[in-house]
Structure 1
Amino acid sequence: MGMQVSAAREPEPTGHRPLDELDRSIVQALQIHPRAPWTLVGEVLGVNPVTAARRWQRLERAGLAWVTAYGRLSDPRIVVTGVVEIDTEPGHGEDVADALGAHPEVVNVKLTAGGRDLVATVQAGGLEELARFTNGLFRATPGVRATRTHVATAIPTEGSRWRLRSLDATQRARLERELPRPVPTRDARHGGSPHSRGAHGLDELDTRLAELLGTDGRMSVPDLAKATDAGFTTVRRRLQTLLASWLWLRCDLARPLSGWPLSAVYFASVPARHLDETVQLLSTVPEVRSCSITAGPHNVVLDVWLRTLADVHTFEAHLAQRLPRLTVSDRSVVLRTTKHMGRLLDRDGACVGVVPLPHYADAPPHTP
């Protein structure tokens, strides 16, 4: 799959000045309802919708906040995920990170300190494809010394669930009530289809819409129709189906502006009989950005956001007290994230380009 990188851009002069309360409220509103109409956002926040839209556009143009669409990580029939630890030759860490970031299948890349030099997240349409891609990629990337891949068997908690804390309960409930309800669909896998998808998954139009939404998750239906040369009604129907069954949307914010400027990755283990209970509790811990259940020497990998370096150990002690069956085997502080869900990031965490995420049209059929 070829690389398609949007034109790089530097953040606007606003830089990383702290967001004011209205900016933070707009971001949280879109974290809850990523495609919320500006009329709704304005009503919930008590501001002019035009003001809310302009504030968002300023953040987006500066690379400080964005909305992305991506394949549902919780469904291995749509995408298989691997967490890869990478050891590099001395002095080659950043070069390897940049090379890996150019590939759509490599969705996240973190430069880390500790028992590995990088941690990357790789996606593929199946286990065989994941093995073929990772083996070929790392053999062909200069500076890679060794890799260890952990296949995610489930991702019970991921980044789209993380929220700022600017809106009150009434505002949050209002936005949640307006979220689109799942649309019942019948596709070729169940004996019928409102449009032809082929035998297994997404057709050409679906895939193109998914790619466009991966670049701008708030792209309007008229703009999507124009970009795909498809009818407005067709695009609206396809969009409903994609968001109901194939895609998730998330609103991300440059981490230094979130109030949680540091990040760490923890590799942990828990007895299999206590795994479900443990990950349910982990999903309630505010610092946990994502949690992957993996097959390997560690069966839990946590991506955590922290406020200070000292919290690396404070957080681990808190976990040990709250979850005594969870054993943290290793941890790495993230020195820099160079790619996050397809977004290329500068040294300040701002988005400066996009490598569209892959969308796998040949996902196997759902079991009836």
Structure 2
Amino acid sequence: MTDALDMQILRTLQCAPRAPFRLIGEVNGVSEQTAARRYHALRRSGVMRVVGLVDPAVHGEAQWVARIRCRPDRVGPLADALTRRPDIAYASIASGGSEIICVIRSPLAAQREGMLLQQLPRSAAVLDMSIDLLIHPFDSPGAAGWTGYGGHLTPEQEQALTGGPSPAPAGPLLPPTAEDVPLLDALAEDGRASHTQLAGLTGWSKGRVARRLEALESSGTLSYDIDLLPERLGYHLNATLWLRVAPAHLERTGQEIARHEEVAFAGATSGDHNVLAIVTCRDAGAFYRYLTTRLAAVPGVDAYGVSIRVRRLKQAASLIAHGRLVHPAPG
């Protein structure tokens, strides 16, 4: 069972994913050993993972959001086939079990239908499909992803963890080299792997590991995130909101929605409903209150649609298996 300290440690990791356990303990008023023990228990249980992520733009890839309406009796096999593909970054089954929502990484020049359906068995499973470009993620200041589970950091605690506002990337994205592959693979599995562990995996010195991480991080090529499994924290309703916002309000509206603690992700897309937001709440009542209070107060939203997730399959860097977050197998 998770408790208030677990929630606080999760919130701390969202603010500073690679903060040392000594600092995590100091910020939360516990010992370094207690902070480490709580973190490892959460990770072993599959509630959370710290992951290192490479910006797909360094490989010339964009992200596309697909909605696939399927025959209900065929949605499971099709969803599982999509989930196994490395170019699928996110996948879930929604809307009563007849819709698959997924995010595809593919070059801008790719033909949309071809990029999704290649390598899949041809069948009559797909009834309808739309694919739209994810134009812009709303990563506004104060938007830490989903924090609706609780936990709170004061400005002083955030300052202690980060040293101040996160700097903008120092320059153009830095394409990883073949030598970087073991480093990046290790961080994709465990974003908190130490310099010593990374040196052992790469054959580099700890100094070289530190310098390469600094170069990749400062350019924006490498970032860190927390994958969370809300269901294990008592939050069982997950919905994708498809919002329609006038261009004049797009930036302000998207930034404001991204700051909501119920929102795990918000981004602008090329669809008729041009803002996508992933929302997690405890139950239907809490979701209704979110719609009628927080979302209703945001100016610029002209219309909305809702897809309720019924099965979580894959998110940013994790598969969901047997109710746990796990690292995807290579391939």
TM-based fold match above 0.5: yes
Are 1:165 and 2:150 counterparts?
yes
Name the amino acid aligned to 1:101: T
Are 1:213 and 2:213 counterparts?
no
TM-score, scaled relative to structure 2: 0.86
Name the amino acid aligned to 2:118: G
Q: 1:280 to 1:38 in 2, by over 3 A?
A: same
User: Secondary structure, in 3 states, of the residue corresponding to 2:284?
Assistant: coil
Are 1:298 and 2:273 counterparts?
yes
Higher mean C-alpha deviation, range 273-282 or range 137-146: 137-146
Higher mean C-alpha deviation, range 100-109 or range 172-181: 172-181
Q: 1:139 to 1:127 in 2, by over 3 A?
A: farther
1:45 alignment partner in structure 2:
28
User: Secondary structure, in 3 states, of the residue corresponding to 1:70?
Assistant: strand
Q: Structure 2 CA distance, aligned partners of 1:183 and 1:148?
A: 33
Q: 1:44 to 1:130 in 2, by over 3 A?
A: farther
User: Secondary structure, in 3 states, of the residue corresponding to 2:109?
Assistant: helix
Name the amino acid aligned to 1:127: L
Contact kept? 1:64, 1:254, Cα under 8 Å: yes
Q: 1:205 to 1:30 in 2, by over 3 A?
A: same
Are 1:226 and 2:212 counterparts?
no
Name the amino acid aligned to 2:23: L
Query: Structure 2 residue aligned with 1:309, among 269, 280, 284?
Result: 284
Query: Structure 1 residue aligned with 2:252, among 271, 277, 287?
Result: 277
Higher mean C-alpha deviation, range 20-29 or range 306-315: 306-315
Deviation sequence 1:25-75 (CA, Å, 0-9, x none): 2211111110111111122122221221122112111211110111347x6
Contact kept? 1:67, 1:216, Cα under 8 Å: yes
User: Secondary structure, in 3 states, of the residue corresponding to 1:250?
Assistant: strand
Deviation sequence 1:231-267 (CA, Å, 0-9, x none): 3222221111112221221123221244533110111
Name the amino acid aligned to 2:33: V
Q: 1:328 to 1:137 in 2, by over 3 A?
A: farther
Gaps of 5+ in 2: none
Q: Structure 2 CA distance, aligned partners of 1:107 and 1:204?
A: 22
User: Secondary structure, in 3 states, of the residue corresponding to 1:354?
Assistant: coil
Gaps of 5+ in 1: 1-16, 190-196, 358-368
Q: Structure 2 CA distance, aligned partners of 1:263 and 1:338?
A: 13
Q: Give the fraction of aligned pairs with identical amino acids, expressed as a percent.
A: 26
Equivalences for residues 191-340 of structure 1 within 5 A: 201-245=175-219, 246-318=221-293, 321-340=296-315
Higher mean C-alpha deviation, range 318-327 or range 56-65: 318-327
User: Secondary structure, in 3 states, of the residue corresponding to 2:314?
Assistant: strand
Are 1:36 and 2:22 counterparts?
no
Contact kept? 1:267, 1:331, Cα under 8 Å: yes
Query: Structure 1 residue aligned with 2:84, among 79, 87, 102?
Result: 102
Query: Structure 1 residue aligned with 2:42, among 59, 66, 73?
Result: 59
User: Secondary structure, in 3 states, of the residue corresponding to 1:202?
Assistant: coil
Q: 1:55 to 1:320 in 2, by over 3 A?
A: closer
User: Secondary structure, in 3 states, of the residue corresponding to 2:118?
Assistant: helix
Q: Structure 2 CA distance, aligned partners of 1:259 and 1:273?
A: 38
Query: Structure 1 residue aligned with 2:137, among 147, 150, 155?
Result: 155
Q: Structure 2 CA distance, aligned partners of 1:231 and 1:141?
A: 52
User: Secondary structure, in 3 states, of the residue corresponding to 1:265?
Assistant: strand
TM superposition shift of 1:303: 0.7
Query: Structure 2 residue aligned with 1:128, among 101, 109, 133?
Result: 109
TM-score, scaled relative to structure 1: 0.78
Deviation sequence 1:329-368 (CA, Å, 0-9, x none): 42111112111113111353x21442469xxxxxxxxxxx
Contact kept? 1:343, 1:351, Cα under 8 Å: yes
RMSD: 3.0
Contact kept? 1:99, 1:141, Cα under 8 Å: no
Contact kept? 2:262, 2:281, Cα under 8 Å: yes
TM superposition shift of 1:181: 6.3
